[in-house]
Structure formats: C-alpha cells, structure tokens
A and B are shown apart, each in its own frame.
Chain A
Amino acid sequence: MNQTPDFNPTVVGSGSQTRSYANGLSLNVGAKVLHQAIHEIPVGENDEQLTQVDVAGSAGQDSVLMRLNHPIRIKMEGPLGDYAFAFNSQADIRMTGNVGSGVAEGMASGAVRVRGDAGVGAGAAMTGGTLAIYGNAGNRCGAAMRGGGIFVRGNVGDETGVGALGGMIVIGGDAGHNLGDAMSNATVFIRGAAASLAAGVTDAPLRKREQLRLGLLLINASIRGDAKEFRRIVPTAMLEAEASERGELNPNWR
C-alpha cells in the first residue's frame, strides 16, 4: 500500500461484501475487514492533510463504520441506515446522502459531515467532535449530549437538545416543539423560530464573545451566515446566574 498522505483507496461493494481499489490494488472486504483495514492505514506526518479513503457501496446499510478511532478522512455515498459512525473518535467523515437514526451517536472526537437529512436522535449522547448536517434533522437531535458541537443547516424536529448536559447545537433553520427540554449546561443557537421552548429555558441575545465564537464555528462547519442572525437558547437559571455573575462560582441551574 502507498503510505503517503496521497493514499486514496476506494472501497466499493454492496451488502457484507465490498471491493477495494487502492491505487490499482483491489480487495474484497466485508464490514469487519474494512474497519480493521482502515485502522491499519498509516497516519500521514502532516496533521493538516489526513489520508483519505473513499468508500462506496454501503448504501442502505445500518451501523456503518462504528467505533472508528483513527485520524483518517473518509468520503462516502449514502443514503445510509441507522447508527452510522456511532462512537467514533478522530475520524473525519464526509458523506453525501441522507442518514437514518442515531448518526454519530456517542461520538467522542473527529467530525461527521452529512450532505443530506438525518433521522431522529442525530448526535445523541455525543461527548465531543463535530456533527454537521447540511439538510434537516429529525426529533431529539443532540439528545443527552455532553460535549462537542452539532450544526444543522436546515430545520430540526421536536425535543432538540433534550437532556443535554453540555455542548452546543447550532440550528440554521427552525426548531420544533419543546426546544431545550431538560437541558442543563448546553447552549443552542438558532437562526429561525422554535415552535415552542421547553419550560425552564429562555431566548437570549448573543453576547459579543459568543458572536465571535459562533462566527468561527460557522466558518469551520462551512455553514454560510452571520452570527448576528442567531439567538441563543439557554436554561433560565443559567442566564440568571450569568446576570448575577454568580454562576461561574456556584452554578445550580435546576
């Protein structure tokens, strides 16, 4: 195998059997072998330029490429089924097409960019990394997340951010009902309208430092827009603590 960062194999196939073409090299691999082979690809010396693998032939499958823990860029075509890229770390995934439920569940680091729509529970229980959805996301997006960031260019469904203990959710469009339900230390930025806010959260303007932070994040996620167009949704008690400047010392938001 070519061990330089230019290494650009393509894995194609369907069902459990896939074929891999890597600079002329062809392999027949199943999901398990593909997972193992990805982890064996040497890491390039240049951190800025990840080794890229093109994967095709996974359309319609569930639980695609879970538990990757390798600094590598993967490009693939959808649509994919449920629980794609769950519990991943380090990997930078760029896919085109829709995904089912639970995309990037439990992701700890790295990035997943979806050029399509996502089903329910996108980014559920994430602890780190970035999930960018360039279409719409279903209900309970970012549920129980504890860290990382979710960017949705379009609309999100009901109960977005439910039970989130940390992290950030950026919504480029509108949100459904009960936005921010049972949310504690997470922040939601929204450009459009929410059908309803959950009890205990409130709408607040962005502070200057958040405008700067959000602006950088929007650029990083390749989402067009000005940070000034967004408002933030935070727990009311958190906002009161901010106002009294006691929150950073002894926060108790519930």
Chain B
Amino acid sequence: MNERLEKICFLPPAADTPWVGAPADDGSIQIERTDGKQVSLKSPLFWYDPPWSEIEIESADVIAAAVARLQVVVSALRSDLSAVDGNPELHQVVSDDTTNGREQADDYLPRMIPYRPERYGLSDRDFDGAAVVDVRLAMRRNSTGRFAFTPEEIGRWEATHGDSPLAGGGWVPAASFPPDVDCLSKLGGKLSQLRLLAGDAAVFASIAPHRLNDELPAVLAAQPDGIILRLNELDLSALELAQSVKQTRCMMDEQQCGHVPLWVVPGKITADDAAKLIALGANAVAIDSWGHKLVNEVKNAQQNSDSNSGYSSLSRHSSQDWVDWVEYELHSQIERFDGLMHAMLYQTPGQRLATLSAEWANTLSIPNLNLPFKPSS
C-alpha cells in the first residue's frame, strides 16, 4: 500500500539537541468522560467498521479477539461474533495473572460498541466491559451505494430460522438519527443514558464530514466524550485528508473543546500515515484497511474451501494459530506505528512535521524544508 501522506515528513531533533534518554511513554491514551471517570486505552488505533457478516461467525470472533489482543480497539456487537446466548471471545473477561488473588475490576479486551440509530443486533449485554460506545449519526452508505443494511447483516444480527428471515431477506433501510431522540439539541440526554448503561466506557459521537461546519458544533454541544470523524465517506486527496484533520481539530479548539478526543476514520493508510494524522491533531486513527485485508483473506479462503485451499487448513488450526496469523499480518505495521509515535515524543507537537511542498506547507501551516537543492519529487 502506498503512503498517502508522503509529502509530509517527520522532523528529527535538531543537530545540537543534547543527548537525553528516550522519552518515557507506553503509547496509552486516557479519555476523560464528562462525568469525570477515566477510560484508559493502550493504543490509539481502532478498527471502526469491520465487515463481520462477510465471514463465518466463528472466524469473525477469533479475528476480532486476536486484533484486540494487539491493543487495537475493535468494533463489534455480540451478535456480530456469536449466535444468540453465545459468549464471544472478544467480550469475555480477560484473566490477569498479576492480580495474585486481589480483587480488582474485570479486565476486557478493548472493544467499541457500534450504537447505530436502529440498534439492530444490539443487546444489553453489549454494554458490559465496553471501552467506547460509538453513537453513529448520519446514514452510512454500503458498498452498493444504498443507505441500507444488507440481508447478510440483518441475518447475522437478528438470526431467525432460515425459512423465515426478518425483513423477508431483503434490504433494510438505514436511519440517520436515533428515533428516540427528539432532535440534535436533545442528543446530550442520550449520551448521558449511555454513560449509565456502559459505566466504564467513553461515549463518542461519530459523524460524516459533509456538513461539518453545521453539525460539529451541534454535536459538541451535546458533550460527547469524543468525536469520531468518518473521513472515509469522502473521496479525499492526501492533502484534503490532512487538512480535514487539522481543521477539525482547530474547529474543536475554537468551540472550547480542545480536551475532547478526535478520532478519525481515514480510509486506506499506512503506519506512517496513521502517525502523521496523529501529529496533525487526531487522537486515534482507524486502521480499517489493515483489518479488512484480514477479512478478505479469510473470505477468499472460505469461498475456496471446497477446493481444499488455505481456509481448510486454517480452520483446522487452533485459536492460537489464528492469533499468530493475525499478529504476523499486523505486526510490522503496528510496530512501525509504535516506533514513529515514540520517536515523535522527542519533539514538541508543533515541531514534529515538515514538508518539501510549498502548497502543503501553506495549507497545513507546517514548516517548508529549505533544502539547498531542488528535491526530485
């Protein structure tokens, strides 16, 4: 995958910087809920919209848990990953050997609840142990261009006997706004309710970028614990992507919401892109393109399973094999991201990025490198 933000480079410390030890940082992020509670996450990476219905339910659960073990926040409902009354691995309490018998709060893998306006597939048990509740505002367009859920999605969430599928096995129109909220100015009440239902989770609102100037201030007025900006819903150039993140952060600062985390869903990115988006003002970045690659590989293998191809052997392996496979697939990217994030700590936030392009420098207000030769690109 090509780096989208290759016009931007990371600035190393200046030549006369004294030798100091490496900055202490474990990469974790803290989110403060509006009621003062703290939510701690070990990584600023998340998998926003995994297409769970495209692969078998058992595979979906194993992949979700394996990715979450890498400390990536994974979005899933229980019904995405298990049959009714099942107990998906992603949703189980993680045993902790370090407790030595001392009583402490249950520990869960980092998980996000996609709280869609329709709530298809959502159960009250989804709230237990969640790290983030994502209140999704504005309709999403699926891969066919419709504002609708596929029969496969509805079939996964609302499993019924095969001969009597809900919705008759057809498309189900998507909603834009929670039907039990009167208007945008009342959204704050819904967010407060969700803080009670999910006592340990940060309650975010996610929005599309199309009407950002109007909608962002209104959503911020509802006091979400964070904002998720779905930039992948626009076909943005690299510069537009970077500019969107930077300007959204500025808008939030101007609304006296500098403390509110901004998470972005940028579409296809590399590890370098993810780190640069954080340097531009995002607090966390979605790595859906990395996760979708895993899903596509499993899907292809499942489709070819009759011909005794890869999936047949995958399916025979233990969960640990799946975990190893996921770790192998994602390790180099996550390691690169972690490394870049750590190296950025040597510089103050305003000195981390630069560019060779005058246009990018002007648009993003970052230094234009003054090289004594003309760069080739």
Binding site for B on A (CB under 8 A): 62-63, 66-67, 69, 81-83, 86-87, 89, 101-102, 105-106, 108, 119-122, 124-125, 127, 140, 143-144, 146, 159, 162-163, 165-166, 182, 184-185, 235, 237-238, 241, 248-254
- Contact status A120-B170, CB under 8 Å: no
Set A101, A121, A254: member contacting B167, Cβ < 8 A: A254
A217 to chain B, nearest CB (A): 21
Pick the residue among A62, A121, A238 that contacts B181 (CB under 8 A).
A121
**Is there an interface contact between B193 and A254, defined as CB atoms closer than 8 Å?**
no
Contact B172 A121 (CB under 8 A): no
List the 6 closest pairs (A to B, CB-CB), nearest first. Answer: A121-B180, A254-B170, A102-B180, A143-B179, A253-B168, A87-B124
Proximity string of chain B (165-203) to chain A, C-beta cutoff 8 Å, 1 when within and 0 when not: 111111111010011111000100110110011000000
In the complex, are the beta carbons of B175 and A121 less than 8 A apart? Answer: no
Given contacts A67-B127, A82-B190, A143-B175, 4 further A-B contacts (CB under 8 A): A62-B193, A124-B180, A163-B179, A185-B166
Determine the distance from Cα of A252 to Cα of B267 in the docked complex, in whole angstroms: 34
A108-B123, A124-B119, A165-B120 known; A184 vs B167 contact (CB < 8 Å): yes
| B180→A101 contact, CB < 8 A | yes
A182 close to B172 (CB less than 8 A): yes
Residue of B nearest to A125 (CB): B119
A101 contact from B119, B170, B181, B196, Cβ within 8 A = B181
Nearest residue (CB) in A for B166 is: A165
Residue A184 contacts which of B127, B166, B175, B196 (CB distance < 8 angstroms)? B166
Q: Can you name the residue of chain B whose Cβ is closest to the Cβ of A84?
A: B193
Majority secondary structure of chain A interface residues (helix, strand, loop or mixed)? loop
B180/A143 in contact, CB under 8 A:
yes
A63–B119 contact, CB under 8 A? Answer: no
Tell me, in angstroms, the Cα distance from A83 to B168 when the chains sit together. Answer: 30
A121 touching B170 by the CB < 8 A rule?
no
Q: Is B308 an interface residue (CB 8 A)?
A: no
A248 to B169, CA, bound (A): 12
Nearest CB of B to A141, in Å:
9
Complex formed: what's the CA distance from A165 to B172 in Å? 9
Q: How far, in angstroms, from A235 to B173 measured CA to CA in the complex?
A: 14
Residues on the A chain within 8 Å of B172, using CB = 163, 165, 182, 184, 254
- Kindly count the residue-residue contacts between A and B in the assembled complex, taking CB atoms under 8 Å apart: 128
Complex: A238 Cα to B169 Cα, angstroms: 12
Interface pair B170/A252, CB less than 8 Å apart: yes
B114-157 contact mask (Cβ, 8 Å, vs A): 1 or 0? 00011110111001000000000000000000000000001000
Q: How far is the CB of B189 from chain A (nearest CB, A)?
A: 5
Bound CA span A142–B180, Å: 10
With a cutoff of 8 Å between Cβ atoms, the chain B residues found around residue A66 in the complex are 193, 196-197
Q: What CA separation (Å) do A69 and B197 show in the bound complex?
A: 13
CB-contact partner of A252 in B118, B169, B182, B186, under 8 A: B169
A238: which B residues are within 8 A, CB to CB?
A: 168
A6 to B96 CA separation, bound complex (whole angstroms): 44
CB-CB under 8 A from B173, the residues of chain A are 163, 182
Q: Cβ of B180: which chain A residues have Cβ within 8 Å of it?
A: 82-83, 101-102, 105, 120-122, 124, 140, 143
Instruction: Say yes or no: A108 contacts B124, CB within 8 Å.
Output: yes
Of B154, B164, B179, most buried by chain A (CB within 10 Å of CB) is: B179
Q: Check B158 against A165 for contact (C-beta < 8 Å).
A: yes
Q: Are A144 and B166 in contact (CB under 8 A)?
A: no
Asked, given contacts A63-B192, A146-B166, A185-B166, whether A120 binds B197 with beta carbons under 8 Å apart, the answer is no
Q: Is the CB of B168 within 8 A of A144?
A: no
A252 contacts across to B, CB distance below 8 A: 168-170
B163 interface residue (CB < 8 Å to A)? yes
Q: How far is the CB of B121 from chain A (nearest CB, A)?
A: 9
A241 closest partner in B (C-beta):
B168
A82 pairs with B118, CB closer than 8 A? no
Report whether A184 and B189 are in contact in the complex, using a CB–CB cutoff of 8 Å. no
B120 and A248 contact, CB distance less than 8 A: no
Which of chain A's residues have a CB closer than 8 A to the CB of B165?
251
Docked Cα-Cα span, A165 to B122, in Å, equals 14
In the complex, the chain A residue whose C-beta lies closest to that of B189 is: A82
Interchain nearest-CB distance for B174 vs A (Å) = 9
For residue B117, which residues in chain A have a CB less than 8 angstroms away from its CB?
Answer: 144
Q: Are B167's CB and A165's CB within 8 A?
A: yes
Query: Assuming A67-B124, A146-B120, A146-B158, is B182 touching A119 (CB within 8 A)?
Result: yes
A241–B167 Cα distance when bound, in Å, is 13
Smallest Cβ distance from B50 to chain A, in angstroms? Answer: 22
List the A side residues contacting B122 at CB < 8 Å. Answer: 106, 125
Q: For the complex formed, measure the closest distance between the CB of B197 and the CB atoms of chain A, giving whole angstroms.
A: 6
How long is the Cα–Cα vector from A69 to B154 in the complex, in angstroms?
Answer: 26
Q: Contact between B197 and A249 (Cβ–Cβ < 8 Å)?
A: no
CB distance from B182 to the nearest CB of A (A): 5
A251–B193 touching, CB < 8 Å: no
Closest partner residue, chain B, to A88 (CB atom): B124
Docked Cα-Cα span, A120 to B173, in Å, equals: 20
**What residues of chain B lie closer than 8 Å to A254, measured between beta carbons?**
167-168, 170-172
A86→B170 contact, CB < 8 A: no
* Nearest CB of chain A from residue B240's CB, rounded to whole Å: 34
C-alpha spacing A200/B179, complex, angstroms: 20
Q: Complex: how many Å from CA A250 to CA B122?
A: 26
Min Cβ gap B139→A in Å is 12
